[in-house]
Amino acid sequence: MPDLPLSVLVLHGPNLNLLGQREPGIYGSLTLTEINRLLEQEALKLQAKIFCVQSNHEGVLVDTIHQAWGKHQGIVINPGAYTHTSVAIRDAIAGVNLPSVEVHLSNIYRREDFRHHSYIAPVAIGQISGFGAQSYILGLQALVHHLIAQS
Protein backbone atom coordinates (compact mmCIF):
# COMPACT_ATOMS: atom_id res chain seq x y z
CA MET A 1 0.00 0.00 0.00
CA PRO A 2 1.25 3.54 -0.77
CA ASP A 3 1.44 6.29 1.84
CA LEU A 4 -2.13 7.57 1.94
CA PRO A 5 -3.82 9.69 0.90
CA LEU A 6 -3.10 9.50 -2.79
CA SER A 7 -3.48 12.80 -4.54
CA VAL A 8 -5.28 13.01 -7.89
CA LEU A 9 -5.63 15.95 -10.26
CA VAL A 10 -9.05 16.13 -11.95
CA LEU A 11 -8.81 18.25 -15.08
CA HIS A 12 -11.83 19.52 -16.99
CA GLY A 13 -11.31 21.01 -20.44
CA PRO A 14 -13.07 23.68 -22.50
CA ASN A 15 -16.76 24.48 -22.17
CA LEU A 16 -17.31 22.03 -19.34
CA ASN A 17 -17.98 25.07 -17.13
CA LEU A 18 -21.30 25.28 -19.04
CA LEU A 19 -22.51 21.91 -17.78
CA GLY A 20 -26.02 21.89 -16.40
CA GLN A 21 -26.87 25.13 -18.20
CA ARG A 22 -26.96 23.97 -21.85
CA GLU A 23 -27.35 20.71 -23.84
CA PRO A 24 -28.55 18.48 -20.95
CA GLY A 25 -29.63 15.87 -23.54
CA ILE A 26 -25.98 15.16 -24.42
CA TYR A 27 -24.08 16.07 -21.27
CA GLY A 28 -26.62 15.60 -18.46
CA SER A 29 -28.14 18.08 -16.04
CA LEU A 30 -25.46 18.18 -13.35
CA THR A 31 -23.29 21.27 -13.08
CA LEU A 32 -19.50 20.99 -12.91
CA THR A 33 -19.66 21.95 -9.23
CA GLU A 34 -22.07 19.07 -8.60
CA ILE A 35 -19.79 16.63 -10.46
CA ASN A 36 -16.81 17.84 -8.43
CA ARG A 37 -18.82 17.31 -5.24
CA LEU A 38 -19.63 13.71 -6.27
CA LEU A 39 -15.95 13.17 -6.99
CA GLU A 40 -15.03 14.54 -3.54
CA GLN A 41 -17.43 12.03 -1.94
CA GLU A 42 -15.96 9.16 -3.97
CA ALA A 43 -12.42 10.28 -3.16
CA LEU A 44 -13.25 10.15 0.53
CA LYS A 45 -14.39 6.51 0.14
CA LEU A 46 -11.20 5.73 -1.78
CA GLN A 47 -9.07 7.52 0.83
CA ALA A 48 -7.70 9.80 -1.86
CA LYS A 49 -7.47 13.58 -2.17
CA ILE A 50 -8.59 15.30 -5.36
CA PHE A 51 -7.88 18.72 -6.81
CA CYS A 52 -10.30 19.87 -9.52
CA VAL A 53 -9.33 22.40 -12.18
CA GLN A 54 -11.30 23.58 -15.24
CA SER A 55 -9.90 25.69 -18.03
CA ASN A 56 -10.98 26.76 -21.49
CA HIS A 57 -7.35 27.38 -22.47
CA GLU A 58 -5.04 24.74 -23.90
CA GLY A 59 -1.89 26.35 -22.46
CA VAL A 60 -3.39 26.52 -18.96
CA LEU A 61 -4.26 22.82 -19.20
CA VAL A 62 -0.68 22.06 -20.32
CA ASP A 63 0.77 24.16 -17.44
CA THR A 64 -1.54 22.46 -14.93
CA ILE A 65 -0.40 19.02 -16.14
CA HIS A 66 3.26 20.10 -15.77
CA GLN A 67 2.58 21.35 -12.24
CA ALA A 68 1.03 17.99 -11.31
CA TRP A 69 4.46 16.38 -11.47
CA GLY A 70 5.76 15.75 -7.93
CA LYS A 71 2.45 16.94 -6.45
CA HIS A 72 -0.16 14.40 -7.62
CA GLN A 73 0.15 10.69 -8.33
CA GLY A 74 -2.28 10.58 -11.25
CA ILE A 75 -4.69 12.52 -13.43
CA VAL A 76 -8.34 12.11 -14.40
CA ILE A 77 -8.86 14.25 -17.48
CA ASN A 78 -11.81 15.19 -19.63
CA PRO A 79 -9.97 17.15 -22.32
CA GLY A 80 -13.27 18.21 -23.97
CA ALA A 81 -12.84 19.16 -27.62
CA TYR A 82 -9.04 19.19 -27.16
CA THR A 83 -9.33 15.38 -27.08
CA HIS A 84 -9.61 15.51 -30.85
CA THR A 85 -7.06 18.22 -31.60
CA SER A 86 -4.37 18.62 -28.96
CA VAL A 87 -0.92 17.18 -29.51
CA ALA A 88 0.22 19.64 -26.79
CA ILE A 89 -1.95 18.07 -24.08
CA ARG A 90 -0.92 14.59 -25.23
CA ASP A 91 2.77 15.57 -25.04
CA ALA A 92 2.28 17.13 -21.58
CA ILE A 93 0.75 13.91 -20.23
CA ALA A 94 3.50 11.83 -21.83
CA GLY A 95 6.09 14.31 -20.50
CA VAL A 96 5.09 14.14 -16.84
CA ASN A 97 4.54 10.38 -17.18
CA LEU A 98 1.75 10.34 -14.57
CA PRO A 99 -0.89 7.61 -14.92
CA SER A 100 -3.86 9.33 -16.53
CA VAL A 101 -7.42 8.24 -17.22
CA GLU A 102 -9.33 9.94 -20.04
CA VAL A 103 -13.04 10.37 -19.35
CA HIS A 104 -15.98 11.60 -21.42
CA LEU A 105 -19.55 12.27 -20.42
CA SER A 106 -20.88 11.29 -23.84
CA ASN A 107 -19.98 8.19 -25.84
CA ILE A 108 -17.64 9.83 -28.34
CA TYR A 109 -17.85 6.76 -30.64
CA ARG A 110 -21.61 7.19 -31.11
CA ARG A 111 -21.21 10.80 -32.21
CA GLU A 112 -19.73 12.64 -35.20
CA ASP A 113 -16.72 11.00 -36.92
CA PHE A 114 -14.37 13.80 -35.84
CA ARG A 115 -14.96 12.81 -32.19
CA HIS A 116 -13.90 9.20 -32.81
CA HIS A 117 -10.20 9.98 -32.69
CA SER A 118 -8.46 10.86 -29.42
CA TYR A 119 -4.92 12.20 -29.29
CA ILE A 120 -4.98 11.48 -25.55
CA ALA A 121 -5.95 7.80 -25.57
CA PRO A 122 -2.49 6.45 -26.53
CA VAL A 123 -0.87 8.15 -23.51
CA ALA A 124 -3.67 7.31 -21.05
CA ILE A 125 -3.83 4.10 -19.05
CA GLY A 126 -7.49 3.84 -20.11
CA GLN A 127 -10.54 5.67 -21.35
CA ILE A 128 -14.14 5.77 -20.07
CA SER A 129 -16.76 7.26 -22.34
CA GLY A 130 -20.53 7.50 -22.33
CA PHE A 131 -21.68 7.20 -18.72
CA GLY A 132 -22.38 10.85 -17.95
CA ALA A 133 -21.05 12.04 -14.59
CA GLN A 134 -20.51 8.37 -13.70
CA SER A 135 -17.63 8.33 -16.24
CA TYR A 136 -15.66 10.56 -13.85
CA ILE A 137 -16.47 8.35 -10.84
CA LEU A 138 -15.45 5.21 -12.75
CA GLY A 139 -12.32 6.98 -13.96
CA LEU A 140 -11.33 7.99 -10.42
CA GLN A 141 -11.94 4.45 -9.13
CA ALA A 142 -9.91 2.92 -11.97
CA LEU A 143 -7.02 5.34 -11.42
CA VAL A 144 -6.86 4.83 -7.65
CA HIS A 145 -7.00 1.04 -8.06
CA HIS A 146 -4.21 1.27 -10.64
CA LEU A 147 -2.06 3.44 -8.34
CA ILE A 148 -2.55 1.08 -5.41
CA ALA A 149 -1.79 -1.98 -7.56
CA GLN A 150 1.44 -0.52 -8.92
CA SER A 151 2.76 0.66 -5.53
Residue 18 lies near ligand CA2 (rule: CB under 6 A)? yes
Residue 115 lies near ligand CA2 (rule: CB under 6 A)? yes
Please confirm, yes or no, whether 82 is among the known catalytic residues.
no
Of the candidates 81, 80, 75, the one whose C-alpha atom is nearest the C-alpha of residue 99 is: 75
Please confirm, yes or no, whether 119 is among the known catalytic residues.
no
**Contact (Cβ atoms closer than 8 angstroms) between residue 84 and residue 119:** yes
Q: Find the binding residues for ligand CA2 in span 38-97 (CB under 6 A).
A: 78, 80-81, 83
> Annotated catalytic residue: which of 27, 82, 119, 136?
27
Q: Give the DSSP per-residue string, 32-95.
A: HHHHHHHHHHHHHHHTEEEEEEE-S-HHHHHHHHHHHTTT-SEEEEE-GGGGGT-HHHHHHHHH
Residue 105 lies near ligand CA2 (rule: CB under 6 A)? yes
Binding site residues, ligand CA2, CB under 6 A: 15-16, 18-19, 22-23, 27, 78, 80-81, 83, 104-106, 108, 115
Active site residues: 27, 104
